[in-house]
Homo-oligomer: A and B are copies of this chain.
Amino acid sequence: MRPDPPVTLKDVAALAGVHPATASRALNLETRPLVSGETAKRILAAADSLGYRPNTVARSLRTRRSHTVGVLIPDLTNPLFPPIVRGIEDRLAADGYVALIGNTDSDDERERLVFERMRARHVDGFVCATAHLSSPLLAEAASAGIPVVLVNRYAKGYGFPAVSVDNERGIGLAVSHLVSLGHRRIAHIAGPQDVSTGLLRYRGFTDAMAAHGLAVDPALVAHAAAYSLEEGDRCCRALLERDLGCTAVAAGNDMLAVGCYAALETAGLSCPRDISVVGFNDMPFIDRLRPPLTSVSFPHYQVGTEAGRLMLELIAATGQHGAVPGDHAEILYLAPELRVRGSTAPPRAPDAS
């Protein structure tokens, strides 16, 4: 079976007995008012009967709008991202946009590569969940006037809108919870300090401790090189080896927290009996682990839909006059909630602070 020859605007115009330009006008909602109702009807009927589908590529070449958005994430297999990406896709789809997806593994080179590739395909904007605090890509996008929406992470100074959880408040909830259980010597496994979440949660941790009148023992802070199970495991071991009598760990995110589970098991310790663990993100299925992880939650899917919305607004705004993107950049902080589960309990032998 040989491919059917694609039907073009010219075919539709011919069948309707009008000029292609007229057909184009009738087929586009914005310009439809320009053509008489009579001919418009004829054209639409013709298009319909031929099964006409506009060639987006040609249109894109002309209008410099592809109705396509690039989505940059570190790694789709990190359970945090699927709901976010779905949210983005759903919101974009509602307006006729489609999403190009690219995993970067937080690798600058790979990030650059997918960025370039998407740019070459004339994406109308980027939703970016990979932003390091300083990123040449963002600078480039800014100077090229490409809309960017930051997700989950924030980067200063580019004037891009962002959607994210209130990290400092979130980790504060975790600390308060642990303190209220009676914990005093609380450790923190900090995420990478070159991404906003790592930095803000670390800062939030020290602030929250201070607010509770607790000193932060620097030895009770471990620094993870990445948000991974392995790093969580490694950092937790390091903390245990220091033998500083900590009774709880507030981890920088869920992966690090689950990494702690492994370290505790290796050390023959029980969670939460010996050590309480709190995560951050409340990833899907994390409530079904053994033990169910207490974690700081926020609406992932909604992060995606909000990011999609901001992107669409940004694209629309960029169309207008010489609109400077980022003029009135909207930064959205979604409220965190603590989901208390089985990984936290009062310390074994509460020490009077």
A86 within 8 A of B: yes
Looking at the assembled complex, report how far the CB atom of A50 sits from the nearest CB atom of chain B, in whole angstroms. Answer: 14
Chain B residues with CB under 8 A of A54: 120
The prevalent SS among residues of A at the interface is: mixed
Task: Find out whether the CB atom of A114 lies under 8 angstroms from the CB atom of B85.
Answer: no
The residues of B that contact A116 with a CB separation of less than 8 Å are 53
In the assembled complex, A58 has its CB within 8 A of some CB on chain B? yes
Which of the 9-residue segments A188-196, A273-281, A282-290 touches chain B? A282-290
Contact in complex: B102, A114 (CB < 8 Å): no
Residues of B within 8 A of A284 (CB): 77, 79
Contact B56 A120 (CB under 8 A): yes
A322 to B3, CA, bound (A): 9
Q: Give residues 141-164 of A contacting B (CB, 8 Å).
A: 142-145
A351 close to B (CB within 8 Å): no
CB-CB contacts below 8 Å: A48-94 with B = 53-58, 60-61, 66, 68, 75-77, 79, 81-83, 85-86, 89-90, 93
Chain B CB within 8 A of A319 CB = no
Given contacts A57-B60, A120-B54, is CB(A77)–CB(B68) below 8 Å? no
Tell me the number of copies of this protein: 2
State whether the Cβ of A352 lies closer than 8 Å to any Cβ in chain B.
no
A242 on interface, CB distance cutoff 8 Å: no
Residues of chain B within 8 A (CB-CB) of A314 are none
B122 touches A103 (CB 8 A): no
User: Could you write out 5 A-B pairs with CB less than 8 Å apart?
Assistant: A61-B61, A76-B82, A79-B79, A98-B121, A290-B291
**Which residues in A have some Cβ–Cβ distance to B below 8 Å?**
1-4, 53-58, 60-61, 66, 68, 75-77, 79, 81-83, 85-86, 89-90, 93, 96, 98-103, 113-114, 116-122, 142-145, 258, 261, 284-285, 288-292, 322, 324
Which 10 pairs from chain A and chain B are nearest by CB?
Answer: A3-B145, A290-B290, A56-B120, A76-B82, A77-B82, A101-B101, A56-B121, A288-B289, A57-B122, A57-B60
